[in-house]
Amino acid sequence: MLAALDEFGPSSQANLGRCTGIDRSDIVAAINAMVKQGFVDRSPHPSDGRRNVVTITAARKDHLEYLSGLLGDAQSELLRNLSAEESKTMAELLSRLLDSR
């Protein structure tokens, strides 16, 4: 969710759930946890008080960079037995699978 907020900017809870693939029933609990940790702010939507807007906090972009580093390390470990060309092909195939969902 942090990556989606960083990439796309502030979002409603519903849109955030849709773009991350997190089920509606789980999105509120996940956002509550991230608000409690200081990763995001949640405020009423300016034109529709029934909706909330979720925004990544400036102080937590560093955490996102940390998570990106961990992800890169995990990806390197997972693909370590593949050649550079095979790794590139794997990434392309996985991207196609994700895009088709």
pLDDT tens digits for range 33-91: 999 998 899 998 888 878 889 998 886 777 888 888 998 899 889 889 999 999 889 88
> What is the C-alpha to C-alpha distance for residues 8 and 25, in angstroms, rounded to an integer?
22
Q: Give the chain's domain count.
A: 1
Global pTM reads: 0.66
Tokens encoding 1: 């969710």
Host domain of residue 60:
2-100
CATH number at residue 49: 1.10.10.10
The Cα-based distances of 30 to 19, 33, 84, 98 in angstroms read 14, 5, 36, 22
- Three-state secondary structure call for residue 7: helix
Instruction: Give the CA diameter of the chain.
Output: 53
Report the Cα 12 to chain-centroid distance in Å.
Answer: 14
